[in-house]
Amino acid sequence: MRIALIAHDEKKPEMMEFAAHHEVTLREFELVATGTTGKRLMEVTDLDVERKESGPLGGDLMLGGEVAAGECEAVIFLRDVLDAQPHEPDISALLRICDVHDVPLATNLASAEYVLEGLRTDLD
């Protein structure tokens, strides 16, 4: 199973904490991320993360392509709803493609916990 990980700049610290806290569980999955998020994840954990382009360069669209191709079972996109910067990925296209293909998309830590637990249950 493959999980895509994306975080707006202000949410990257939360993504790092989430990944560090769930590192053992996340090792059970193939991980793919936008460029900067993936780089930071590999710096703070021992997780193997396939990196796509950074969000502003289309990494979020590349991940959406994986969802459309049936190559990604879930997306965790920690987004900054209050102060997202213009260069950061927009969730609308990714949300649409996840809805079309019935792929869960978590947008905050609480929903990320549930998605990860659900995927882990599927593995068992």
Q: Which residues are catalytic?
A: 60
- Is residue 65 part of an annotated ligand binding site? no
- Is residue 35 part of an annotated ligand binding site? yes
Burial grade of 22 (CB within 10 A; 0-12, 13-18, 19 or more):
middle
Rounded CA gap, 36 and 32, in Å? 11
- Is residue 21 part of an annotated ligand binding site? no
- Is residue 111 part of an annotated ligand binding site? no
- Is residue 52 part of an annotated ligand binding site? no
On whether the CB atoms of residues 74 and 48 are closer than 8 A, the answer is no
- Is residue 37 part of an annotated ligand binding site? yes
Angle, vertex CA 31, rays to CA 28 and CA 36, nearest 5: 145
End-to-end CA distance of the chain: 12
Can you tell me whether residue 15 is helix, strand or coil?
helix
- Is residue 54 part of an annotated ligand binding site? yes
Point out the annotated binding site for substrate. Answer: 8, 12, 34-37, 54-55, 87
Binding residue ranges: 8, 12, 34-37, 54-55, 87
